[in-house]
Structure 1
Amino acid sequence: MGAVHIGLFVPCFIDAFYPKVGIATLELLERLGCRVDYPFDQTCCGQPMVNAGCHAEAAATEQLFVDNFAAYDAIVAPSGSCVHQVRDNLTAIEQTPAVKHVRENTFELVEYLHDVLEVEAFPWARFPHRVGYHDSCNTLRHLGHGKPSELYGPSFSKPRTMLSKVEGVELVTPDRPDECCGFGGTFSATEPEVSGQMGRDKIADHGRAGADYIVSADTSCLMHQAGCAKRIGAGIQFRHIAEILNGANA
């Protein structure tokens, strides 16, 4: 476990708005015996440009990302949408061995804990609250965090499995657990009325299930829902899963 050299990728909005999530990710990986570095020259992965249809313009950003992370055995990030960008859309540049290495070895935090490290316990963590987990569209459908409701097959959820190992967590399930919260990147800017109503619907669904906290592996979704909750005066709170697994208790 400790022999693997990890490059920590902290996405732009986490760095700017939720730095505690990046710190929790670093601390959690180190608690688990990982050797972790943070490349200080890292910037955006290019996702905003790609989402806006300006993929060719993201070439320089993609190349800088590869330059920063190619030397690491694995790249881990607390953001499913950014990991999806690196894995599936880092194609504006020539697909050199370094690019392929980065694309094949970039992991979202929960899947790295569940699939690679196979973590069985978080003995330092306790979170005595009712938790509703929010499945972001990218992590669920592109990264395989769980089984989407539209598919047949046995149910599973990697993040809920991780949360169930934390003392005191009571997981509650909304009626529509994998419905989009309305953020959708640029969708929330181009369709603000629809996006806002979807966010309010998601919060209400979790509220009916009795959640004290909405938890997710994607801070972008949490940011959107927290804004919606503040506007309607909902008392529900929000946490990134890294914070809880690292030992946050409120």
Structure 2
Amino acid sequence: MSMALADHRPLRPQGAVVTGKGSLESFFAGLQPDWHSSWAWDHYEATILALMHQFGLKRLCEIGGGRDPLFTAQEARRYGLDLVVNDIDAGELALTPEGLRTARFDIAGDLGEPDIARNGYDMMVSRMVFEHVHDVERAWSNIHALLAPGGIGLAFVPTLWAPVFALNHVLPEKASRAIVHALFPARREGGGDPKFPAFYDWCRGSRSTLEPMLRRAGFNDIHIQPFWGHGYFDRMPGLRGLDAAFNRLAAKAEWRFVTTYAYVVVRKER
């Protein structure tokens, strides 16, 4: 997905000193992410590596990684990661590239599957997964159980009520699927990026909305990094311009009700 942005600040290099490294809020304050979602997409992997370096983490589980994990086996070795790729679907895990360990379980399930490792991960991450989960509060409670003390969870999610996702939320699945396929012709069933039904349970960009739920799940160190803007209208110049102006205004005014994406980041107490 193409997302152009003029003001595109770089991520701080891995190993950079961030003031108050024990706090997620201070970590992201030092990181200085841009408001536009292109930053979120371009720096997602680098943000994970920076968090792992900063907080001394090694054992990484990618939730819903399936056919398209963030890191190859070679990259995991290069970065010193003990990587496990998770998915609920055995068919998706069968497509995981060779050399990577896998674990099949439902992140919102009862944690009774054989592949469950309680307190077994230093970091658990997901990208465009939680909008497909029926019970996100239970998923966060399970992440708390699966993380080791001091471990970090990060979910990169699309959020309501961004107009583009609000439309996807209210339309019948058949209609929203047709629209996505029209906007992105390469994205077809059986292709490399299938579309799954989205529920958007707890997919929000507001800390005041999410914090009570995340505290019930067991977390106290919480950071919600909001992003605005998207690339869905790249082939529609008029609509693209109007939407870009709206998102720029929303970001400037900090309208969390209409964020487009968010990093939801939590840390388990030691």
Richer in strand (by share): 2
TM-score, reference length from structure 1 = 0.30
Richer in helix (by share): 1
